Amino acid sequence: MRKENSTNTINEQFLFQVCELNSAIAIIGGRWKAQIVYSISQGNNRFHLLKKELPNISEQVLGRQLKELEIHAIIIKKEIPDTVPLGVEYVLTNKGLDLVSILESLCNWGKLYADGKEISACLA
Amino acid sequence: MRKENSTNTINEQFLFQVCELNSAIAIIGGRWKAQIVYSISQGNNRFHLLKKELPNISEQVLGRQLKELEIHAIIIKKEIPDTVPLGVEYVLTNKGLDLVSILESLCNWGKLYADGKEISACLA
DNA sequence: GCAATAACGAACAAAATTGTGAGCCACTAA
DNA sequence: TTAGTGGCTCACAATTTTGTTCGTTATTGC
């Protein structure tokens, strides 16, 4: 999928070195990721619950996003024993939980200015 | 550039409605955006200074990112009078400044776990 | 006269992300 | 027996993002 030596990849790696900020953005910057993390934190921690919350997402895409969040250790996949068919629960890690509060700040920031807070230049 | 009725665009709009969080992510989620905002906040507020900080970025790409940040009212472009050739300064708005502190949280979050903080599941 | 500076813009190409169609497993309820 | 559930995976197509090439402005220094 990724070309090792594309300028795109090289630039991405460069940014990762400059500051962890850029790795963080890369983790949550995808189309559905931030919303999925937030939804899980609200208790929609099952595949089918997420599907209900995000009716437009296809199962393929949802599965892909969840796997990537798992790779970055934001969530952990847990099988629920003695269920048929075998249920799966997604649980936030402490890393994921810390992220949620930052996402909440971002959300409030967006709301504040969407609600018409005045915007003006700040003099340095 | 954007197709009005692509599923991709429709899904993006859907997420924008769900929560401002998603608009916020869309604003800062691009390849260089967060880093540019952060660099400007550190005083690299001129086109050529940003080029020096980000040696791999092409001028076209830098210009494009700056324009988009301007559209979202994160920065404002100011011409510096009596300079030859005419200099341009990028100034953060209050909206941009509020964003910077969130970016700093993100950065710290990334650093914390990159430095090896233990990760474990949080029980709900 | 020629290169350099500061700050871009347009058109195009490459690469990456996102979405689609189909199918799988092992059940259970009607 | 047919449909439904929960939770996926594969290969491929559509769309979007990112990067490249070339050109522009007006001026100064060599």
Phi (first) and psi of residue A121, to 5 degrees: -70, 145
In chain A, how many H helices and how many E strands?
Answer: 6, 2
Per-residue pLDDT tens digits for B48-85: 999 999 999 999 999 999 999 999 999 999 988 877 77
Phi (first) and psi of residue A100, to 5 degrees: -55, -40
Of the listed ranges A2-6, B39-43, B94-98, the least confidently predicted one is: A2-6
Minimal Cβ distance to B114: which of A20, A99, A121 = A20
- pLDDT for B4 equals 84
Beta pairing class for B87-92 and B75-80:
antiparallel
- pLDDT for B97 equals 96
The helix or strand, by DSSP H or E, that contains position B21, with its residue range, turns out to be helix B20-28
Return the amino acid letter for A35: Q
pLDDT at A113 over 90: yes
Instruction: Report yes or no: A106 and B101 within 8 Å, Cβ to Cβ.
Output: no
Instruction: Report yes or no: B92 and A122 within 8 Å, Cβ to Cβ.
Output: yes
Q: Where in chain A is the domain with CATH 1.10.10.10?
A: 31-123
Judged by CB atoms closer than 8 Å, whether chains meet at A21 and B112 is answered as: no
Of the listed ranges A43-47, A53-57, B29-33, B114-118, the least confidently predicted one is: B114-118
Instruction: Say what the pTM is.
Output: 0.92
pLDDT at A22 over 80: yes
Using the Cα atoms of residue A68, residue B10, residue B30 and residue B101 in order, give the sign of their dihedral.
negative
Instruction: Report yes or no: B33 and B79 within 8 Å, Cβ to Cβ.
Output: no
Instruction: Kindly determine whether the C-beta of residue A7 is less than 7 Å away from any atom of nucleic acid strand D.
Output: yes
- pLDDT for B82 equals 79
Distance B65 CA to D30 C1' (A): 36
Q: What is the DSSP string of A22-58?
A: HHHHHHH-SSSHHHHHHHHHTT--BHHHHHHHSTTS-
Provide CB contacts within 8 A for B70, sequence distance 6+.
Answer: B76, B77
Distance B61 CA to D25 C1' (A): 20
Instruction: Kindly determine whether the C-beta of residue A48 is less than 7 Å away from any atom of nucleic acid strand C.
Output: no
Average pLDDT estimate for B33-57? 94
> What residue of A is the nearest CA neighbor of B98?
A109
Of the listed ranges A61-65, B110-114, B117-121, the least confidently predicted one is: B117-121
Query: Which protein residue lies nearest to nucleotide D18, measured between its Cα and the C1' atom?
Result: A8
Q: Comparing C-alpha atoms, which of A35, A45, A50 is closest to residue B14?
A: A35
- How buried is A87 (Cβ within 10 angstroms: 0-12 exposed, 13-18 middle, 19+ buried)? middle
Query: How far off is chain A from B85, nearest CA to CA, in Å?
Result: 23
Distance B85 CA to D30 C1' (A): 19
Judged by CB atoms closer than 8 Å, whether chains meet at A91 and B22 is answered as: no
Instruction: Report yes or no: A75 and A93 within 8 Å, Cβ to Cβ.
Output: yes
- Bridge partners, A76 (sequence order): A91
Instruction: Report yes or no: A122 and B97 within 8 Å, Cβ to Cβ.
Output: yes
Tell me the average pLDDT of chain B. 92
Return the amino acid letter for B122: C
Instruction: Report yes or no: B121 and A93 within 8 Å, Cβ to Cβ.
Output: yes
- Residue B54 structure tokens: 């980000």
pLDDT at B124 over 80: no
Class of CATH domain A31-123: mainly alpha
Residue A121's SS3 state is: strand
pLDDT at A124 over 60: no
